Amino acid sequence: MSESNKLISPAKIGDLSLGCPLIVAPVQTGYGKQTGEVTEEHFSFWERRSEHAGAVIVEPFFLEPHLRQIPTQIGIHSDEMLPGLARLAGKIKARGARAIAHLNHPGRMANPAIPENIYLSSSDKPCKNGGKKPTRMNIRQIEEAQDLFAKAALRAEKAGFDLVELQFGDGYLIAQFLSPDLNDRDDTYGGTMENRFRFALEVLAKVKESCSLPVVARISGSEMFEGGFDITEMLQFSRALEKAGVSAINVSSGSVCETPAWHFQHVSIAKRKTWEMASQIKAELRVPVITGGQVNSKQDINQILDGGMADFATVGKQLIADPDFLGKVLGHIAGPVRPCLACLEGCVGGIHRANKLSCTINPRVGRDEAQLAETPWKKKIAVVGGGPAGMEAALVLKERGHDVTLFEKDKLGGQLNLASLAPRKRNLNKLIAYYKQRVEKEIKAVLRTPEPEELVREYELVLLAHGSVQADPNIPGLEEFAGIEILDPRNMPRGKNVVIIGEGFSAVDAAEALADNNNSVTLVCKSREILPDSQMISRNIAVRSLENLNVRILVKSEVTRKKGDRVFVNYQGREQVIEGVDRVVVLEGMLPSSDYEKELRGKVDLCKAGDCRLVGSAIDAIHSGYECARLV
């Protein structure tokens, strides 16, 4: 079957036909209420992403209020939830997709920040990465948990869902019984592999007794750490699930506790590994196999489907970044794909920071279902600065109907062009390419620095997005230092002793690049850890990367002075001296650029976006550009 035919051909799970083999993966949104009810935000988010999909696995439903992963999770614990759930399923199905209810008991991974939560598991071992000590479940508690799954499945059927997916992997409760690392029981639910399978198989049996819906089992192909279960055991588990009557198996990888980078599919993870485990399982089964993880291009989908790795491909975070991704893959919608960077800063980070989904590169998440208002007052607008804030602003202004010219002194991309040179930031090139393709097609882009007089004379409004400047670090003896431009290969030293001052992504990027070029690197940061504003997964991966590159990290430290080739550091209250320093790189203390303001203020309408308004991260710049343009 040809690639195009595979993508558009119906596929089956059990006796249920799906319009195509593309399934939307479950994504926590945080759009709910404390009561667990479905909200209008849920309807908008999931309805939009149902277009062009064969099926949609809705975000995890909690089975009891004291078993929540986030405070605003959707509940399926009571019949009172049925009207909202029914409306949600109906909206998905109205778009031509099948609606799948994802049922999960978190076990010991229930959110410790929610006061009424309880913590249950196969043993009393807490998560090594943080969390409450769980209660070792007795037989009565095991049976009660199984009944929760069965009752939830029946409610899903009553609400009009087409299938149910049972979470048997990813480090949640059922996986906590499967895992030989965690399960130290000596009863019928522990010890041998067959005993560790028992809880899951009994859940499946009770769910099949309670409802008539096809059942998908989600499993991790491997926990991806020594001592956890691996693909060998999961092959046997998959055969047991098939024999017990499961309709399909959805293969992920990792554990939300021990290996969250695999569970959430951080960009540092080799995405094909999960697909390859799915392929091994598919070779052993007759029931269809589903897989995904960092599926963010048509090529990825083709590898999974045409390569015979699975029967269905799931797409999750890419649909946060670009809700039209499936339509573009299928050829129904024109235009480049806004790429998911798998950075986890907006999606996972947004849930952890604010209990609400966001996206680094898509500022419309949470409000993207509402069309931008077309302006009743079309203006001629100049955007000064072709970095992420300026390009986003220019595109939004154009979408709203304004006549836009974008000025950039060098080349489109701004600081992203330098950041993309860092060893672990190559994927930024996809974002740069996306913006360049759209800007060059939709916007008049001029690669030069405009004169203030020209801006006043030719334009009704000027949107400044020309970035930030380095403040004087005010370190005695430090007369020369480099900035982010050190990442340019023309500026990159080799075999030198380099001190970096900073703690954010740019400092980490520079440290990795310098160490990668055989430099001895010391990173000096004021906070108690690097990347203090980042989410935990990215921070931990950065720390391991720097350690592997032998970068010395001095936390809670500050450079106090420099004398010759000696740099003096206040290291946690004690003075340390770094000898033989060849270069100092300063990557903190940026200030908004004030260029143009004095010449333009009072002569033309002004607004500012990105670092020239408030110095921040890439997510801040893109969101600032969007918001400024939306309000013009």
CA dist 194 and 465 (Å) reads 61
The CATH number of the domain holding residue 33 is: 3.20.20.70
Residues 385 and 397 reside in one and the same domain: yes
Residues 596 and 563 reside in one and the same domain: no
CB of 248 within 8 A of CB of 277?
A: no
Q: Is residue 80 part of a domain?
A: no
Give me the phi and psi of 331, to 5 degrees please. Answer: 85, 10
pLDDT averaged per 10 residues in sequence order, the chain, 632 residues: 64 95 97 94 95 97 97 97 98 98 98 95 94 96 98 98 98 98 97 98 98 98 97 98 98 97 95 97 98 96 95 98 96 96 92 86 78 88 97 97 96 94 94 97 97 97 95 95 96 98 96 98 96 91 96 98 98 96 96 92 95 88 95 90
Q: Is residue 455 part of a domain?
A: yes
Q: Is residue 84 part of a domain?
A: no
Res 216: pLDDT:
98
What is residue 306's DSSP assignment? T
Residues 514 and 558 reside in one and the same domain: yes
Domain count, the chain: 3
Res 306: pLDDT:
93
Q: Is residue 364 part of a domain?
A: no
Using DSSP bridges, classify how beta strands 22-24 and 55-57 pair: parallel, antiparallel or unpaired.
Answer: parallel
Q: Record the tokens describing residue 420, joined without a space.
A: 């993309």
Q: Is residue 550 part of a domain?
A: yes
Q: Is residue 597 part of a domain?
A: yes
* Sole residue written with tokens 């043993």: 123
Residues 582 and 534 reside in one and the same domain: yes
Residues 6+ apart with CB under 8 A from 291: 250, 251, 252, 274, 275, 277, 278, 304, 309, 310, 312, 313, 314
Residues 558 and 604 reside in one and the same domain: no
Residues 114 and 239 reside in one and the same domain: yes
Single out the residue of 400, 416, 536, 420 nearest to residue 461, CA to CA.
Answer: 400
CA dist 286 and 372 (Å) reads 47
Angle between helices 40-50 and 82-94 (to 10 degrees): 30
Q: Is residue 492 part of a domain?
A: yes
Helix (H) or strand (E) holding 56: strand 55-57
Report DSSP letters for 443-507, one per residue. SEEE-SPPPHHHHHHH-SEEEE---EEEPP---TT----B-GGGGSTTT--SS-EEEEE--SHHH
Residues 463 and 497 reside in one and the same domain: no
- For residue 24, the SS3 value is strand
State how far the alpha carbon of 127 is from the alpha carbons of 42, 91, 109, 134, in Å. 30, 38, 8, 9
Residues 453 and 582 reside in one and the same domain: no
Residues 617 and 571 reside in one and the same domain: no
Vertex 238 angle, CA 237 and 243, to 5°:
100
Res 1: pLDDT:
43
Range of the domain at 51: 3-66+98-354
Residues 392 and 509 reside in one and the same domain: no
Residues 195 and 260 reside in one and the same domain: yes
User: Residue type for 554, please?
Assistant: L
Helix (H) or strand (E) holding 80: none
The CATH number of the domain holding residue 622 is: 3.40.50.720
Q: Record the tokens describing residue 115, joined without a space.
A: 């006061």
Q: Record the tokens describing residue 18, joined without a space.
A: 């799906």
Q: Record the tokens describing residue 291, joined without a space.
A: 């897989």
Single out the residue of 177, 162, 170, 258 nearest to residue 211, CA to CA.
Answer: 162
Residues 198 and 252 reside in one and the same domain: yes
CA dist 499 and 569 (Å) reads 11
The CATH number of the domain holding residue 512 is: 3.50.50.60
Q: Is residue 359 part of a domain?
A: no
Count how many Cα atoms sit within 13 Å of the Cα of residue 130 in the half-sphere of its side chain: 6
**Dihedral of the CA atoms 291, 293, 298, 300 (nearest 10)?**
-80
CA dist 129 and 511 (Å) reads 26
CA dist 403 and 397 (Å) reads 8
Report helix, strand and coil shares of the chain as percent, to nearest 5.
Answer: 35, 20, 45
